[in-house]
Every structure is written in structure tokens, then in C-alpha cells.
Amino acid sequence: MQPTGAAYNAEELRAICDVLLRHPNVWVFTDDIYEKLVYDGFKPATIVQVEPKLRDRTVTMNAVPRPMR
């Protein structure tokens, strides 16, 4: 079974970042493995790009996806 997920643009992530800034004990774990596989001109963003203050409590998972090996 393949996982399903979503990618967010900077505007969408801004709302999430605003909530996270109000909750300093919440950590962020992101899986950005498919960040290079986007279509139709979509520009994905990351939590840390949108809000650098969250860097110290963000863990980003990444690897080379199968289609790019």
C-alpha cells in the first residue's frame, strides 16, 4: 500500500505556523520525500521556509523517491 498525502503552499502553511507558534510544546515532523514531484506549476513550501522560528522543533524526513532512483 502506498501512503497518500498532501503538499501545501506558503499561504496554507502560514495558518498552520500561526497555530504552532501559540503551542511551543508541539513539534513538527514533515515528510518531504516527494517535494520534487509536483505538477501544474504548484509551488510547495515547508514549515521552516514559512516560519524560521519553528526550525528548532521541526524534524524533516527526506530521501530519494523510487521514481528518481
More confident residue, 65 or 34: 34
The domain segmentation of the chain, as residue ranges, is 10-68
Q: Which three cell numbers stand for residue 32?
A: 518531504
3 state DSSP class of 66: helix
Give per-residue pLDDT as tens, 35-61: 667 778 888 889 999 999 999 999 988
Kindly report the pTM of this predicted structure: 0.75
42-57 in b/e burial notation, b at 16+ Cβ within 10 A?
eebbbbbebbeebeee
User: Closest Cα partner for 59 from 33, 28, 18?
Assistant: 28
| Alpha-carbon gap, residue 8 to 10, rounded angstroms | 7
Check pLDDT > 50 for residue 5. Answer: yes
